[in-house]
């Protein structure tokens, strides 16, 4: 993503400096190298830290306790007290595009995931940047760290390719235990959501896993493997880079049996009350400014207070399972931290925690299963058929929590995963470790992007990003290193003129400073650009296009630059093209209209009193 004046690659810089065809002395070479890595004498004297990158899957912005959620997450809350939280950290609205940028520092349209491989439009197939896998135009941070003295480990979700030259072991990871596809059962039955690959493929150290252990549960097993890899490799004293790519709380909502009732009846009151409480806590924590409003409840969702009590309980049950998955993940992260403390490496480990995209509000199983009578539908019915209230959460069941709870997870933003409102692309971010200044602070100034993680890790490791790798040219990093910000030198790696861009499924967006434009298919947008001020209106409720036409024009020009720089191809088909017919019309809702809403909260006994004249209220 080109967010400012185009950066020079190392080769271009050397040529521009007039030394491209000359032999240069060691001192000059070191000086030039330091310009690209951000390293100088201070960096050269710093002990290279371990690097631990932890990614949740489809977890919402406000779920963690330290971001205002009611879910019990003491480990990550304590990490936030030791480190720094950030409120303006951006990702892609779906998983594989985020992961392509997370590991390369390069825009997803260059890295091969211009669209998800499963959802490529006909006019995108076969085009550069739309391979549907991580392509060879980029080099991963794992490859660069491995080549420069780091152990490199991965446990969890890959989703960037299935072939032998596309899997983690081939893209820089020395040890791995990896789920190669986007999601499936969290237990040993390993059923995939997608019928075309009915069983989830796993690899361990580059070799296919033929059978999972009987006691397999994804979150625990990924944690076990991470600890195992670090423990078995630490004898030589080399630092490690560990990528923990959890699949929690991605659907299906599964938890170990002894966690099934962890949050029993905690969500019976419904989504509106929980969302209101979260929003209030976020304001108290300073994450959301007082005086601004949360996004309205989505127009196609009912008020939870208007649902029958049994329905509220049934829908709340799904949120109970989601919350249990998040807390269980937090608990397992704590196991890794405890292990690092035990071996004396915790204080020398930089920890970065993020979620890969907004919370999942779509019906993923419905999308994959399709119509009755199809192979996808048959696969879903055979392997995820049992979905009763007391069954969900167990092996063989399939449940997701839906758009209402997803909007709760993304408080105060609009929409959720798959869409380019901030509800689809804003993620929590916690960074802690050696050199990170400002323990317990909340940074609200910095506008950050997932592409920034690669240059940050490389600078911590004193490794430069090359112009070529294994004899092929590779795309330069587009992200910005956070090291200067983390060490207290600046509040943000970006200035007021810098900007970020997105596109997927034909929806598109640009953010520069407080301003954002977005274009969505109806009914999630208006098939045209809308302009929002995110400081005053984080919920993207008020289109300011008419009030600020010049700002809108400026940002549209940046969109044109984004397309040209990254080779964006707008798909000829989109998963959202039929959404307008599938959903009711969007109309405003007010407390006093329709008038019958005034009757909702009156108990029957009170109503009789009113009718009989026994009560004057």
Per residue in 493-524, pLDDT (tens digit) is: 999 999 999 999 999 999 999 999 999 999 99
Mean pLDDT throughout 580-595? 72
Cα–Cα distances in Å, from 91 out to 390, 451, 500? 35, 8, 10
**pLDDT tens digits for range 191-215:** 988 778 889 999 999 999 999 999 9
The pLDDT value given to residue 238: 97
Res. 1 pLDDT band, cuts 50 70 90: very low
Is the pLDDT reported for residue 435 higher than 50?
Answer: yes
Res. 378 pLDDT band, cuts 50 70 90: confident
Q: What SS3 class is residue 449? A: strand
DSSP3 helix / strand / coil % (the chain, rounded to 5)? 35, 15, 50
The pLDDT value given to residue 239: 98
Mean pLDDT throughout 459-483? 97
* Phi, psi angles (nearest 5°) of residue 225: -70, -40
Which residue has 């594989």 as its token pair? 96
The pLDDT value given to residue 110: 98
Mean pLDDT throughout 174-203? 93
Res. 170 pLDDT band, cuts 50 70 90: very high
Is the pLDDT reported for residue 395 higher than 50?
Answer: yes
Q: Are 505 and 574 in contact (CB under 8 A)?
A: yes
Which residue has 């779920």 as its token pair? 63
Res. 591 pLDDT band, cuts 50 70 90: low
Is the pLDDT reported for residue 364 higher than 90?
Answer: no
Radius of gyration of the chain (CA): 25
Q: What percent of the chain shows pLDDT beyond 70?
A: 87
Which residue has 């209101």 as its token pair? 276
Q: Are 176 and 233 in contact (CB under 8 A)?
A: no
Q: What percent of the chain shows pLDDT beyond 90?
A: 79
The pLDDT value given to residue 263: 98
The pLDDT value given to residue 486: 98
**pLDDT tens digits for range 254-272:** 999 999 999 999 999 999 9
Residue 187, beta-bridge partner list: 217
Q: Are 517 and 528 in contact (CB under 8 A)?
A: no
Dmax of the chain from CA atoms? Answer: 100
Count each helix (H run) and each strand (E run) in the chain, helices first.
19, 17
Mean pLDDT throughout 126-133? 97
The pLDDT value given to residue 247: 98
The pLDDT value given to residue 34: 37
Q: Are 53 and 242 in contact (CB under 8 A)?
A: yes
Structure tokens at 323: 């919350």
Residues that are catalytic: 95, 159
Mean pLDDT throughout 229-245? 97
CATH superfamily for domain 46-566: Alkaline Phosphatase, subunit A (3.40.720.10)
DSSP string, 384-427: S-B--TTTTTSTTB----HHHHHHHHTTTSS--TTSSSHHHHEE
């Amino acid at each position: 993503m080109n967010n400012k004046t185009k950066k020079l690659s190392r080769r271009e810089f050397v040529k521009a400096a007039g030394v491209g065809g000359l032999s240069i002395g060691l001192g000059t070479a070191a000086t030039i190298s330091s310009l690209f890595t951000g390293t100088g004498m201070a960096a050269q004297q710093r002990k290279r830290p371990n690097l631990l990158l932890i990614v949740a899957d489809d977890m919402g912005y406000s779920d963690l306790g330290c971001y205002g959620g009611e879910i019990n997450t003491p480990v990550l809350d304590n990490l936030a007290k030791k480190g720094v939280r950030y409120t303006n950290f951006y990702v892609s609205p779906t998983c594989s595009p985020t992961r392509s940028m997370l590991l390369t520092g390069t825009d997803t349209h260059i890295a091969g995931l211009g669209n998800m491989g499963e959802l490529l439009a006909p006019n995108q197939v076969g085009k550069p940047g739309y391979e549907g896998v991580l392509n060879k135009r980029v080099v991963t941070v794992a490859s660069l760290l491995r080549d420069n003295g780091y152990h490199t480990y991965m446990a969890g979700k890959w989703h960037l390719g299935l072939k032998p030259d596309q899997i983690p072991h081939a893209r820089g990871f020395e040890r791995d235990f990896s789920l190669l596809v986007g999601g499936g059962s969290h237990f040993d039955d390993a059923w995939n959501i997608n019928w075309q690959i009915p069983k989830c493929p796993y690899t361990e150290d580059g070799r296919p896993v033929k059978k999972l252990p009987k006691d397999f549960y994804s979150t625990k097993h990924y944690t076990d493997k991470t600890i195992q890899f670090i423990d078995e490799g630490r004898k030589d004293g080399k630092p490690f880079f560990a990528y923990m790519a959890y699949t929690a709380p991605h659907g299906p909502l599964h938890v170990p049996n002894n966690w099934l009732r962890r949050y029993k009846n905690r969500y019976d009151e419904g989504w509106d009350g929980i969302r209101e409480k979260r929003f209030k806590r976020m304001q108290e924590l300073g994450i959301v400014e007082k005086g601004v409003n949360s996004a309205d409840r989505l127009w196609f969702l009912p008020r939870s207070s208007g649902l029958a009590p049994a329905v509220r309980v049934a829908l709340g049950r799904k949120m109970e399972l989601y919350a249990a998955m998040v807390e269980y993940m937090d608990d397992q992260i704590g196991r890794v931290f405890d292990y690092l403390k035990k071996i004396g490496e915790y204080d020398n480990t930089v920890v970065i925690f993020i979620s890969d995209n907004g919370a999942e509000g779509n019906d993923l199983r419905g999308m994959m299963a399709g119509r009755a009578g199809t192979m996808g539908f048959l696969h879903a019915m055979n392997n995820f058929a049992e979905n009763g209230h007391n069954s969900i959460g167990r092996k063989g069941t399939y449940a997701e929590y839906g758009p209402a709870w997803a909007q709760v997870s993304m408080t105060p933003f609009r929409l959720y995963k798959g869409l380019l409102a901030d509800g689809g692309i804003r993620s929590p971010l916690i960074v802690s470790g050696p050199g990170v200044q400002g323990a317990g602070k909340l940074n609200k100034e910095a506008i950050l992007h997932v592409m920034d993680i690669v240059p940050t890790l490389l600078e911590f490791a004193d490794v430069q990003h090359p112009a070529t790798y294994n004899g092929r040219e590779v795309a330069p990093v587009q992200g910005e290193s956070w090291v200067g910000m983390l060490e207290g030198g600046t509040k943000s790696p970006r200035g007021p003129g810098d900007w970020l861009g997105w596109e997927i499924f034909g929806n598109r967006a640009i953010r520069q400073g407080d301003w954002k434009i977005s274009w969505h298919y109806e009914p999630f947008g208006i098939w045209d650009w809308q302009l929002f001020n995110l400081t005053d209106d984080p919920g993207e409720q008020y289109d300011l296009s008419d009030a600020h036409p010049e700002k809108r024009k400026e940002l549209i020009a940046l969109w044109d630059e984004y397309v040209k720089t990254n080779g964006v191809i707008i798909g000829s088909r989109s998963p959202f093209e039929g959404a307008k017919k599938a959903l009711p019309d969007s109309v405003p809702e007010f407390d006093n209209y329709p008038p019958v809403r005034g009757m909702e909260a009156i108990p029957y006994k009170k109503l009789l009193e009113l009718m009989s004249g026994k009560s004057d209220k």
